Amino acid sequence: MEIGTILGFAIAAVVAMVAALFTKGAGPDRRWKGGRKDPVRNMFFREDGSWRRYGRLGIVLVFILLVYLGYVGEI
């Protein structure tokens, strides 16, 4: 993968992560495929839409893993 491609993905991920960190919650249920029962939504948010205790940390760790995989190419 070229460095420009990796940087593009990294910049897009950082923007999305910063936006997610400053939101007040999960947003409307219609944004999630499964509504309140969506498995990805439930990893980061409670059913009432508030952040889980380690939800933000989880998003940061996922971002670090994606950057690592893009840079190195494998785990």
- Residue 33: predicted pLDDT: 86
What was the pLDDT predicted at 3? 67
Phi, psi (degrees; rounded to nearest 5) at 46: -80, 175
- Report the domain count for the chain: 1
Q: Write out the residue range of the structural domain in which residue 50 sits.
A: 3-72
- Check whether 75 has a pLDDT greater than 60: no
Report yes or no on whether pTM surpasses 0.75.
Answer: no
Give the closest residue to 7 by CA, choosing from 63, 74, 60, 70. 70
pLDDT tens-digit map of 38-63? 888 888 888 888 888 888 788 788 87
**Cross-strand pairs, 45:** 51
User: Which residue did the predictor score with more confidence, 51 or 1?
Assistant: 51
Query: Among all chains, which residue has been given the structure tokens 């897009």?
Result: 12
Distance between CA atoms of residues 23 and 49, nearest Å: 11
- List pLDDT tens digits, range 16-39: 767 766 766 777 777 778 888 888
